[in-house]
Amino acid sequence: MDEKVIYEKHPVTAERKAELRQKGYKIIDAKFAPDEYEHPEPIKKVDRPSKGLNVDQIKAALTENGIEFEATANKQSLAGLLDKAVQE
């Protein structure tokens, strides 16, 4: 069986590697891609629910979704809670 080659920007996440290998691709760093190369499996970009929100907005969204959080939690922690909850 011929192995298909895909040029992917490195580092490649473990999840992405598994996805591409399952489809039969050999992964090579995108910096080695030929000029005329067109990516056959583009990454599906998903915006995080917390993107563009300030701390108060994130806290409000968490409260609306019934998600408990520490009042002293930083923005990154709060955003992680919101993003994880919405993805599930």
Looking at residue 6, what is its pLDDT? 93
Section 38-60 average pLDDT: 84
Please give the pLDDT value at position 30: 92
Residue 40: pLDDT over 90: no
The pLDDT value recorded for residue 1 is 52
Partner residues linked to 29 by β-bridges: 8
Task: Give the closest residue to 62 by CA, choosing from 47, 41, 44, 77.
Answer: 77
**42 vs 25 pLDDT, higher one:** 25
Domain segments of the chain: what residues?
Answer: 1-45, 55-87
Nearest CA-CA partner of 75 in 58, 51, 52: 58
Calculate the alpha carbon distances from 66 to 41, 85, 88 in Å. 37, 10, 14
- Report pTM: 0.49
More confident residue, 45 or 77: 77
